[in-house]
Amino acid sequence: MEKLFKLKERGTTVSKEIIGGITTFLAMAYILAVNPGMLGSIGNGMDFGSVFTATAIASAVATLVMAFWANLPVALAPGMGLNAFFTYTVCFGMGCSWQLALTAVLIEGLIFIILSLFGIREKIITAIPAGMKKAVAVGIGLFITLIGLANAGIVSSETGTIIGFVNFNMSAKTAIVAMIGLILTIVLYVLKVPGSILIAIIATTIIGIPFGVTAIPEGWKPFSLPAAPLFCKFEWAGVLSIKFIVIMFTFLFTDLFDTIGTLMGVTQQANLVDEEGNIQNAKQALMADSIGTVVGACLGTSTVTSFVESSSGVAAGGRTGLTSLTTGVLFLLALFMTPLFALIPSAATAPALIFVGFLMLQQVVDIDFKDPTEGIPAFITIMVMPFSYSISKGIAFGMIAYVIAKCAGKKAKDITVATWVLAIIFVADIIFEAVK
């Protein structure tokens, strides 16, 4: 154990690592309820049980790769925001099949493996504007919040305005239960209770029973064998279209910064960076999410990425891959608890979505709004995502605005080749959508 994970070198013990792994799992296990619920809403063969199995296995595989290869206390799972883009933008908004969306995820993962092997990912990250990276995260946070509010029935377009809060009377039982869940989440998080989001989901599910929001099927059993995943359900027709390229590029772009940002934050917290702030075993860490994404696509779930909730395990003492090993094993054990997670209503998972929006919004303070060539593109990115109900449109308009603002501000030299390429692709997509 010592030789494999270097516990003494990093000033930790087996007990601290195990506690750290359990804490991380408790903090991020909500994904086992939220992700299958979100992707399962697509229907047409993509059901809760299959996505649950895919989510648990992909999370376990990626986290175990992180444990044994990168030796970092970082856990991975299908990312929030990425699953929203998969469901609400690609499938519902753009009318694509979930099979085509999985194909985009697969190709993205394969590209990431190549980029990670040759160290290109680390170079790409330095080429994209820092403010835009933060803006994408903030915009996705607001987008996820809006989805959570809508899923809970808290906001509606039937209030006489474009959108508004519903009246919290007894006809809005789902909204009432969700608000109770959000209050619980806030209280537990402020009190720094480990696994606050998961605990709130469980408590809200129980509270929903007398309200009739949580329905317990007749003959229900809490444990069962895992459902079969959606193995290699890909659709290759249309993969050369501009629409597909934009979808794949958006997955690629979003995942790139989700992973890098999380790795930087967690490793800095754990003091696992060198004097220049470089992440230890960065290439291996980036390979973990690449492999997890490919495995997830083959099993039937959206892009796998590093989870910021890993910071809770680091706060509990986790410093090595043993923390990740513990979390990965717990994901595998969760495979046999599908009925428990299937029982959780949208009123219980919606507060988690709303609260994740808060966590992602915190990065807004790092955006330089005093510089209009930085602030305006960031604002457009953040504004467009929730108001257009599209992550891809937010990224597209934001990148285009960045190029325009920098050119107008006589700072064209700040625009990297990668940014120019992205902007051109997004302009082409807008033109294509307008004329088709």
Which pLDDT tens digit goes with each residue over 285-321? Answer: 999 999 999 999 999 999 999 998 888 888 888 999 9
Which pLDDT tens digit goes with each residue over 335-367? Answer: 998 888 878 888 988 888 888 888 888 889 989
- Tokens representing 121? 């990912």
**CA–CA separation, 285 vs 184, rounded Å?**
34
Would you tell me how many other CB atoms lie within 10 Å of the CB of residue 2? 9
Helix (H) / strand (E) containing 383? helix 372-388
Specify the pairing of strand 164-165 against strand 155-156. antiparallel
Residue 134 near residue 382, CB atoms below 8 Å: no
- Could you tell me which of 209, 221, 229 has the C-alpha nearest to residue 340? 221
Per-residue pLDDT at 100: 95
User: Which parts of 144-242 are beta strand (E)?
Assistant: 155-156, 164-165
- Tokens representing 410? 């006589």
For the chain, how many residues are written? 436
Least confident range of 88-92, 289-293, 423-427: 423-427
**CA–CA separation, 405 vs 384, rounded Å?**
17
Which of 116-120, 188-192, 216-220 has maximum average pLDDT? 188-192
Mean model confidence pLDDT for the chain: 88
Residue 278 near residue 48, CB atoms below 8 Å: no
- Tokens representing 413? 């030299």
* DSSP secondary structure string for all residues of 266-308: HHHHTT-B-TT-PBTTHHHHHHHHHHHHHHHHHHT---EEE-T
pLDDT band at 124 (very low <50, low <70, confident <90, very high): low
Per-residue pLDDT at 128: 67
With a cut of 60, say whether residue 436 has pLDDT above it: no
With a cut of 90, say whether residue 410 has pLDDT above it: yes
* DSSP secondary structure string for all residues of 14-27: HHHHHHHHHHHHHH
Least confident range of 84-88, 184-188, 223-227: 223-227
Instruction: List the beta bridge partners of residue 43.
Output: 46
**CA–CA separation, 421 vs 418, rounded Å?**
5
Per-residue pLDDT at 292: 96
With a cut of 90, say whether residue 194 has pLDDT above it: no
Task: Report pTM.
Answer: 0.76
Beta carbons within 8 Å of 41's beta carbon, 6+ residues apart: 87
**CA–CA separation, 386 vs 379, rounded Å?**
12
Phi-psi region of 212 (alpha: psi -120 to 50; beta: other; left: phi over 0): left
Which of 37-41, 134-138, 236-240 has maximum average pLDDT? 37-41
pLDDT (mean) for 35-48: 92
Which pLDDT tens digit goes with each residue over 57-73? Answer: 999 999 999 999 999 99
**CA–CA separation, 356 vs 359, rounded Å?**
5
The maximal CA–CA distance of the chain, rounded, in angstroms, is: 69
**CA–CA separation, 55 vs 77, rounded Å?**
7
pLDDT band at 419 (very low <50, low <70, confident <90, very high): confident
Instruction: List the beta bridge partners of residue 164.
Output: 156
With a cut of 80, say whether residue 242 has pLDDT above it: yes
